[in-house]
Amino acid sequence: MQLRTVDLIRKKRDGGELSAEELRFLIEGYCRGDIPDYQMAAWAMAVYFRGMSPAETADLTLIMAESGDRMDLGAIGGIKVDKHSTGGVGDKTTIALAPLVAAAGVPVAKMSGRGLGHTGGTIDKLESIPGFRVEMAADRFIDQVNQHGIAVISQSGNITPADKKLYSLRDVTATVNSIPLIASSVMSKKIASGADGIVLDVKMGGGAFMKTWEEAAQLAQAMVDIGLRVGRETVALITGMDEPLGYAVGNALEVREAIDLLKGDGPADLKELCLALGAQMLVLGGRASTAEQARTALEELIASGKALKKLKEFIAAQGANPTIVDRPELLPRARRQIAVKAQASGYVTRIAAEEIGLAAMRLGAGRATKDSGIDLSVGVILRKKIGDAVAEGDLLAELHAGEAGAERLEPIQRQVREAFEIGADAVMPPRLIHALVDRKGIHRL
Q: How many residues belong to the chain?
A: 445
Task: Tell the smallest beta-carbon distance from residue 115 to a second copy (Å).
Answer: 21
Instruction: Compute the distance between CA of residue 309 and CA of residue 315 in angstroms, rounded to an integer.
Output: 10
Q: Which is nearer to a second copy, 178 or 251 (CB)?
A: 178
Q: Which of 112, 184, 185, 188 is catalytic?
A: 185
Choice from 19, 146, 156, 173 touching a second copy (CB under 8 A): 173
Q: Which of 83, 84, 110, 125 is catalytic?
A: 84
Which range touches a second copy (CB under 8 A), out of 64-72, 99-107, 168-176, 425-433?
Answer: 168-176
Choice from 24, 28, 29, 37 touching a second copy (CB under 8 A): 37
Q: Is 185 a residue of the active site?
A: yes
Q: Is 414 a residue of the active site?
A: no
Which range touches a second copy (CB under 8 A), out of 31-39, 301-309, 324-332, 390-398?
Answer: 31-39
- 23 part of the interface to a second copy, by CB under 8 A: no
Q: Is 170 a residue of the active site?
A: yes
Choice from 22, 26, 31, 48 touching a second copy (CB under 8 A): 48
Which range touches a second copy (CB under 8 A), out of 5-13, 145-153, 197-205, 223-231?
Answer: 5-13
Q: Is 69 a residue of the active site?
A: no
Which range touches a second copy (CB under 8 A), out of 36-44, 134-142, 240-248, 399-407?
Answer: 36-44
- 297 part of the interface to a second copy, by CB under 8 A: no
Q: Are 143 and 318 in contact (CB under 8 A)?
A: no
Choice from 18, 31, 41, 64 touching a second copy (CB under 8 A): 41
Choice from 18, 27, 31, 46 touching a second copy (CB under 8 A): 46
Which range touches a second copy (CB under 8 A), out of 8-16, 23-31, 236-244, 427-435?
Answer: 8-16
Q: Is 163 a residue of the active site?
A: yes
Choice from 3, 21, 34, 49 touching a second copy (CB under 8 A): 49
- 17 part of the interface to a second copy, by CB under 8 A: no
Task: Tell the smallest beta-carbon distance from residue 16 to a second copy (Å).
Answer: 11
Q: Which is nearer to a second copy, 146 or 173 (CB)?
A: 173
Active site residues: 84, 163, 170, 185, 189
Rule CB under 8 A: which residues touch a second copy? 5-7, 9-10, 13, 36-42, 44-46, 48-49, 169, 171-175
